[in-house]
Amino acid sequence: MGSTRTPTERSPVDRVVRQLLLIGDASPRALFDLKGSMLIAGVRCTITYIIIPFGAPVVAWLGVLGTPLSLALSIVAIGMAISSLRRVWMADYRHRWPYTAFIVLAVVLLVIVVVGDVRTLLS
């Protein structure tokens, strides 16, 4: 899964991303404990692909509570995405760049939702 690259073999761009993610030159670690990662992935997928899509009409029905709930879920999702990205980079996972592009896109979309929710709450 991960590579055995040493910190001295990192590209300048890799070093910058690791600094942005507050990883620095930490030694590569295993991607994560299998049981823990499966549990986290299962919970996240359940929330993302089942509860949110099927719960959207319920959230809309909640009216005044819908926007704060959407805002809270979006902020939690951003935190989970960044945490996941940090784990991938800490593990020196060989497909970290495509995963990074995916996470950046997801976070950008979530930030758009957050901005919309904040504007709704302030109006």
How confident is the prediction along the chain (123 residues), in pLDDT tens digits per residue? 545 545 458 888 988 888 888 887 777 765 555 455 556 666 766 766 677 667 767 666 666 667 787 788 888 888 888 888 888 888 888 888 998 998 899 889 889 988 998 998 898
Domain-embedded: residue 2: no
Domain count, the chain: 1
Question: What's the pTM value of the predicted model, to 2 decimals?
Answer: 0.67
| Tokens, residue 81 | 């995405």
Is residue 83 within 8 A of residue 12, CB to CB? The reply is no
Range of the domain at 78: 7-122
d(CA 14, CA 21): 11
Report helix, strand or coil for 100: helix
Domain-embedded: residue 1: no
